Amino acid sequence: MRIGELKLTANIIRQNIIKMLIPAKSGHPGGSLSAADILATLYFQVMRVNPQEPNWPERDRFVLCKGHAAPVLYAALAEKGYFPKEELLGLRQTGRMLQGHPDMKKTPGVDMSTGSLGQGLSAANGMALAGRLDGKDYRVYALLGDGEMGEGQVWEAGMAAAHYKLDNLTAIIDYNGLQIDGRTDDVMSSAPLSAKWQAFGWHVIEADGHDIKKLMAAFEEAQKVQGKPTMLIARTIKGKGVSFMENQAGWHGNAPNAEQSEQALKDLKEEAANLG
């Protein structure tokens, strides 16, 4: 895909994040919007996947460690054709397949059930180990939040991935600087993130998480790294693309009301028009 098309895809994903939260009346817009460019780049450019065969053994895997950003994953999967887009409107509703946090048993394309922070990277490690054991060349991608750095298990997994030299693993931190209670630097600082991951034995790349060209270059670089897992620290804006949500911790876990949704979609459509 050309970069312009990827930008448009990210925009559509963002619009669908807003649209699915309206009937759900709950959910997490901030951290979903911040990750839209990353997911668009992964699913529409980088990852080897086949929506017609979600469990294809040769596929690249994606683990959404920050499971509360489920809307961005669902919007990307629907856009990619894993399931009909109408399903998006059933988000978080009884009897429907789109759970509040990703459920690999219910949703085609979800490679790991997540939601409890800190657990995803370990599962990604396991997939990467299995791939290597089977002599398969698939890659594993894991998206973490910066607030998630507070979980001890992340660092256990970080240590293990380097110990086992998992160069088929690329993790990404959606570094938006905010968590539920406020600024990550105030709540529980994880700085300096880059130095920490380097010290843990990872190849670290820092990039603007909304610059698709830079994201593509980062993923390409990660594929060439040998003997080390790669951590892409992606600087992002929580709520990106929706004027009143940008950089507001309050939009971590609240759905917009009708009026706000209208404004949000207006912002995003304007952006789309400028892209077109």
Is 143 an interacting residue with respect to another protein (CB under 8 A)?
Answer: no
Tokens for 132, please give them.
């290597």
User: Is residue 164 within the footprint of another protein (CB under 8 A)?
Assistant: yes
Distance CA 163, CA 200 (A): 9
Please pick, from the candidates 2, 57, 135, 258, the single residue that binds another protein as defined by CB under 8 A: 57
Q: Check residue 253 for interaction with another protein (CB under 8 A).
A: no
Q: Vertex 125, ends 119 and 185: CA angle to 5°?
A: 50
Which of 10-18, 20-28, 116-124, 172-180 is the region at the interface with another protein (rule: CB under 8 A)?
116-124
Q: With CB under 8 A as the rule, give the number of residues binding another protein.
A: 35
| 152 is a contact residue toward another protein (CB under 8 A) | yes
Burial class of residue 46, CB neighbours in 10 A (0-12, 13-18, 19+): buried
129 binds another protein (CB under 8 A): yes
Q: Which of 103, 206, 208, 221 is the binder for another protein (CB under 8 A)?
A: 103
Residues in the chain: 276
199 binds another protein (CB under 8 A): no
| Smallest separation (angstroms) from another protein to the CB of 179 | 20
Out of 11, 16, 45, 113, name the contact with another protein by CB under 8 A: 113
Radius of gyration of the chain (CA): 17
The contact set with another protein (CB under 8 A) reads 57, 61, 63, 103-105, 111-113, 115-116, 118-131, 133-134, 152-153, 156-157, 159-160, 163-164
